[in-house]
Structure 1
Amino acid sequence: MTATTAVSLTHSPLVRAFPLIISGMLVNKIGQDYDYKDIYYVVVVDCGSSGSRLHAYKFILPKGYRRIDSENLNIDDELYAAIKPGLSSYADIPKVGAKAIVDLIKAADVFVPKEMKAVTPLIVRATAGLRVLPENKADTLIKHIREAISDLGYPVNENSVKILKESDEGICMWYAVNLLTDNLGKGTAMTSLEIGGASAQVTYAVNNDDINKYSANDIFIRPAVFSTTLFSHSFIGQGIGAARFGSLQLESGHPEPQELYLSVCLDPALCEHEFNFFGQLVKVSGTSRKGLSPEAVFARCREIVQRYIKVTMKSTNVEKVPTENGVAAMGYFYHFSNDEGFITPDESGEISILQIMEHAMGPSGGCATSDEKRPWRCFDAVFIVSLLQDGYGFDESTKINVYNDIDGYGVEWSLGIAYNYVMAAITAQPGPANVYDKFIRSILAKRRK
């Protein structure tokens, strides 16, 4: 996406409808160089299950007399910073967690001009990691953070710090990837998929004739930006960390905590290794693969994972996720593809279910080789294959576009929420574009009379 977009007279339907009015009244303004821009800053803190990440965005809007849309609101710059561990790790020491978030936000001081702070939205959102905490602990963390950030110079209110709604996580990711691929408002929006630490998100545009096929809780319309009807659902338990732990529990056959979990999905070199799953320490060991082919290991692991996916999908009707306009996959889809060599580091690329399966069972794949540093390779491949094929109904040959960033900008839900904040602010104000549209509509009304 380019930093600026030129405004052309030939692109505006208003110019074609009223050439004399425009040439007589507004030609000087429309014909000038659009060097003068409105500038908007937004600071977003993503408090994820594995760490907190700051995204500070600078948007620019060339001043002109045309309807505001995604073609002329563009990202001009972004600042990124991150800290670990995740916010949920501070559940029993909320003041320490609040200070960590404050220190992270201060990193934006070199990016947001001092004179712009008072009008720059500061949005702190916790995701699935905080959703799984007891409500009183999550509320205490949020309260301490809200109080701690109130003196940083940004406007802070009750909406500044919240747990991100499950639906908003997927919706904002959808906006981000389709904004960066220039697909917003054009009927070509891609389906958006993401795997996080505790949950997985699926979002796609829905034909209005098909709305009745879905639960009302999964259908959303954002008329302030684009009147697109979206299906969006966040599957708690389908994040990579939750899926690993949940599958271990399912494989054990016992719902209560175990001293040691054994799994055919894990590297056999792993012996009573301790993992931290959202604050819970768990010992795990891989079982022997002696006498088993890689195909047999994959099949046994898949049987467990398929059962787990069925449990976490529950009754949500996602029988066939649309792929006609392409599929964009982010989060752990990217990290897995990078680690397994499907894509070049720091680059986007394409993968398919068939590629993942063949690689996992191949001579260098996770179900055939031993790698103590990456003992989850076999499980992760099986989980992604099963999620896409058994959960979302993909054909094994479907091409999936894997993104981490596009044109240097990270594909994150934080970009989507920042974009929505700016667009909502613009469309709610009687700026030049809105004023001019009202003027044209008044002329049309008089002519009809």
Structure 2
Amino acid sequence: MGRISFSCLFPASWHFSLPSHILPRLLLPSSRQLLFIGLLLFFFGVCYLLLVTGKLPASWTTKGNSFHRHLARVSDVDATDASNPDLSYGLVVDCGSSGSRVYVYCWPSHNGNPHELLDIRQMRDQNGKSVVMKIKPGISKMAETPEKASDYIHPLLSFAAEHIPKNKHIETPLYILCTAGMRILPESQQEAILEDLRTDIPVNFDFLFSDSHAEVISGKLEGVYAWIGINFVLGKFNHAHNDDAVVEVNIPGSDHQEALVRKRTAGVLDMGGVSTQIAFEVPKSVSFASPQQEEVAKNLLAEFNLGCDAHRTDHVYRVYVSTFLGFGGNAARQTYEESLVKNTTARNKLLGQHVGEMAASPTLDPCLPTDLRDQIGSPEQKLHVLGTGDFDQCRRALQPFLNRTNETQTSLNGVFQPPIDYNNSQFFGFSEFYYCTEDVLRMGGDYNASKYAQAAKSYCATQWGTLKERFDAGLFASHADGHRLQYQCFKSAWMYEVLHSGFSFPPDYKNLKTAFLVYDKEVQWTLGAILFRTRFLPLRDIQQESLKGLHSHWRHSFSIVNHHYIFLFCFFIVLLSIILYMLRLRRIHRRAAQRCSPSSVPWLEEGLGSPTLPINL
């Protein structure tokens, strides 16, 4: 085996040599060796970041990675860390008929997965309580003095401003959304109030607020927001394939695409004192019985993309929302009493009785508990009634007030309702749907029609005196009062008829849950509003991440680690130096080989048999 002399590369006094088979390996690093060295240095850098920061940059995680998703969550019960620069904030003012509330929401930066929504939660103060403030009366009371509207709203915004870091105000969106109280005002008065808000609020507050952020929303949009809020809290918009409850969806406007399979969303039933509302997703295309029905359906079906990218269909939904004024529990009772007075008066006139004689023979009312006496009607036309507590007869008496028609695909008042796949659906019932089942009957939660009807029938048939004794003994829910006790029989029957005769839910339907809270939280429609109106923010974050690249993401993620920049800079400089040094050695060797032994070049390049070389000792 030959040896190679280095006498031609160094001063004459330096004489040393190496075996010829070592020199190529030493001076001619292969691409594999270069790759190995680079990967080794890269691995060292990653380990260093893990040890110092305890996490990887979010852009390195996989889409939907559960580890990163866990990091991005905001606690439901802990106080919000207002010093966290990663948090963003948003405000929604709910201007209702009786008062206005401001809700403060917060969320961490989006995790970069366009399939996921912002993780929005209510902000909590140092005591762990939701940051909410309410004032009375409703903003509609400013109708005659619209120039005072901004003064009216000022305490709410000042309260919110105290909880949000000052440097975050300029990027915090503010939405002032007015509901039923403002809807009944003339449009000119509505605009006068809104104009005062749009003009004065930017002068006094630095929140992100434009003209479109103050408006009177429709009942349909309010229902959509409520549906979004409840399903968001339930996790129905997380489309990870780990849930057996799925549904096949035909995306609106994409008839030629294959159906999308995703999590089944929940429908919402809500019965207040004045109105009743239903909202649910319509996963399949709907056929209409007539052109008139199709025209009506356009006003009841809302199609929207809840995702951040309009070109993605993961979060495209078609939701049916219908509100029925006059079909709430108290309004229905008033309508029933008016009918009872009218019919009894007409009957007594035929019998020749006067109004004053009506007290001698009270009218029997099957919708009041047994032996309960009450007086209804106006002062000029009073009617004395006596409860007979007949639940089934009460149900039959209430059916005409549903105003059902014989047309297909209709519900209360003959309004269009698309078909519901009762075998693959889930609904949540709020307000009276919960109060009727829980306050007195103590059956809130999973709804069972036969058990509910039996319990309601038993309650109605119970003597009024016995019910009062049970109430005084605290056997009913703590918030149940005398009004609930008196009208529970009527409202039980009304709720049953609205659900089964009005909305056509089968008596054996098993997937209705009546509830007051969702995951121990009262879910407001404002949550759905902030989620829907900020839906494009994740796309902005994702685009900024793409433009800024990896270095800017590190700069965003590691706020207190300036020495990381120094480390990364040195890391790449060292790597580049090693590569340049190896390339320099390669060039030096080639020149040396040409000067020392030109005939050896073919041997070095082609790997031929080694010739006899002089050896200097």
Same fold at TM > 0.5:
yes
Q: Give the counterpart letter for 2:116 in structure 1.
A: D
Matched residue, 2:20 = none
| Distance in 2 (alpha carbons) for counterparts of 1:269 and 1:146 | 54
Matched residue, 2:36 = none
| Distance in 1 (alpha carbons) for counterparts of 2:539 and 2:278 | 28
Kindly report which structure 2 residues correspond to 1:244-255, keeping only aligned pairs within 5 A, or say none.
244-251=333-340
Matched residue, 2:174 = 122
Contact 1:48-1:127 at 8 Å conserved across structures: yes
Q: 1:217 to 1:358 in 2, by over 3 A?
A: same
Asked if 1:112 is matched to 2:169, the reply is no
Q: Give the counterpart letter for 2:104 in structure 1.
A: A
Contact 1:174-1:416 at 8 Å conserved across structures: yes
Matched residue, 1:395 = 506
- Corresponding residue SS for 1:159: helix
Deviations 1:49-96 (A, max 9, x none): 3443332111223544x33413x6342634233344444455556567
Kindly report which structure 2 residues correspond to 1:126-165, keeping only aligned pairs within 5 A, or say none.
126-147=178-199, 149-150=201-202, 151-165=204-218
Q: CA deviation at 1:227?
A: 1.2
1:227 aligns with one of 316, 319, 325: 316
Q: CA deviation at 1:208?
A: 3.6
Contact 1:305-1:386 at 8 Å conserved across structures: no
Q: 1:76 to 1:99 in 2, by over 3 A?
A: closer
Kindly report which structure 2 residues correspond to 1:208-219, keeping only aligned pairs within 5 A, or say none.
208-210=284-286, 215-219=297-301
Matched residue, 1:7 = none
Asked if 1:75 is matched to 2:121, the reply is yes
Percent identity over paired residues: 19
| Distance in 1 (alpha carbons) for counterparts of 2:462 and 2:141 | 30
Q: 1:414 to 1:239 in 2, by over 3 A?
A: farther
Asked if 1:238 is matched to 2:291, the reply is no
Q: 1:178 to 1:224 in 2, by over 3 A?
A: closer
Q: CA deviation at 1:394?
A: 0.8
In our comparison, the structure showing a higher alpha carbon Rg is 2
TM-score, with structure 1 as normaliser: 0.71
Q: 1:395 to 1:252 in 2, by over 3 A?
A: same
Deviations 1:384-441 (A, max 9, x none): 222211221112332422333333443221111111122222225553577699xxxx
1:289 aligns with one of 386, 400, 418: 386
Kindly report which structure 2 residues correspond to 1:48-447, keeping only aligned pairs within 5 A, or say none.
48-64=96-112, 66-70=113-117, 73-75=119-121, 77=123, 78-88=130-140, 91-92=143-144, 99-147=151-199, 149-150=201-202, 151-184=204-237, 185=239, 186-210=262-286, 215-225=297-307, 226-251=315-340, 264=365, 265=367, 269-271=373-375, 287-289=384-386, 292-295=388-391, 298-299=394-395, 301-303=397-399, 305-307=401-403, 313-318=412-417, 320-323=419-422, 324-342=424-442, 349-363=445-459, 372-374=482-484, 375-398=486-509, 399-428=511-540, 430-431=542-543
- Corresponding residue SS for 1:117: helix
- Corresponding residue SS for 1:107: helix
Deviations 1:107-156 (A, max 9, x none): 32343222222222222222233323444444444445545644233233
Contact 2:120-2:531 at 8 Å conserved across structures: no
- Corresponding residue SS for 1:203: strand
| Distance in 2 (alpha carbons) for counterparts of 1:389 and 1:232 | 18
Q: 1:300 to 1:153 in 2, by over 3 A?
A: same
| Distance in 2 (alpha carbons) for counterparts of 1:355 and 1:286 | 34
| Distance in 2 (alpha carbons) for counterparts of 1:37 and 1:245 | 54
| Distance in 1 (alpha carbons) for counterparts of 2:106 and 2:154 | 20
Q: 1:250 to 1:144 in 2, by over 3 A?
A: farther
How many residue pairs align between the two structures? Answer: 394
Q: 1:325 to 1:136 in 2, by over 3 A?
A: same
Q: 1:141 to 1:92 in 2, by over 3 A?
A: same
Deviations 1:262-321 (A, max 9, x none): 9945685544699xxxxxxx999774225x343366236524543499999334222644
| Distance in 1 (alpha carbons) for counterparts of 2:501 and 2:483 | 29
Q: CA deviation at 1:40?
A: 2.5
More strand by share: 1
- Corresponding residue SS for 2:221: helix
| Distance in 1 (alpha carbons) for counterparts of 2:219 and 2:105 | 23
Unaligned runs of 5+ in 2: 1-38, 47-55, 62-66, 73-83, 124-129, 240-261, 308-314, 344-362, 469-480, 550-617
More displaced 10-residue stretch of structure 1: 315-324 or 199-208: 315-324
- Corresponding residue SS for 1:376: helix
Q: CA deviation at 1:327?
A: 0.4
| Distance in 2 (alpha carbons) for counterparts of 1:90 and 1:285 | 37
Contact 2:270-2:432 at 8 Å conserved across structures: yes
Contact 1:328-1:402 at 8 Å conserved across structures: yes
Q: 1:308 to 1:178 in 2, by over 3 A?
A: same
Contact 1:60-1:76 at 8 Å conserved across structures: no
| Distance in 2 (alpha carbons) for counterparts of 1:141 and 1:104 | 16
Contact 1:221-1:227 at 8 Å conserved across structures: yes
More displaced 10-residue stretch of structure 1: 125-134 or 408-417: 125-134
| Distance in 2 (alpha carbons) for counterparts of 1:51 and 1:365 | 39
- Corresponding residue SS for 1:192: strand
| Distance in 1 (alpha carbons) for counterparts of 2:393 and 2:121 | 46
- Corresponding residue SS for 2:455: helix
| Distance in 2 (alpha carbons) for counterparts of 1:51 and 1:173 | 19
Contact 2:402-2:412 at 8 Å conserved across structures: no
Contact 1:58-1:76 at 8 Å conserved across structures: yes
| Distance in 1 (alpha carbons) for counterparts of 2:492 and 2:146 | 36
| Distance in 2 (alpha carbons) for counterparts of 1:434 and 1:168 | 34
More displaced 10-residue stretch of structure 1: 82-91 or 176-185: 82-91
Unaligned runs of 5+ in 1: 1-19, 255-261, 275-281, 438-449
TM-score, with structure 2 as normaliser: 0.54
| Distance in 2 (alpha carbons) for counterparts of 1:100 and 1:252 | 43
| Distance in 2 (alpha carbons) for counterparts of 1:95 and 1:416 | 30
| Distance in 2 (alpha carbons) for counterparts of 1:411 and 1:319 | 26
Q: 1:171 to 1:105 in 2, by over 3 A?
A: same
Q: 1:338 to 1:101 in 2, by over 3 A?
A: farther
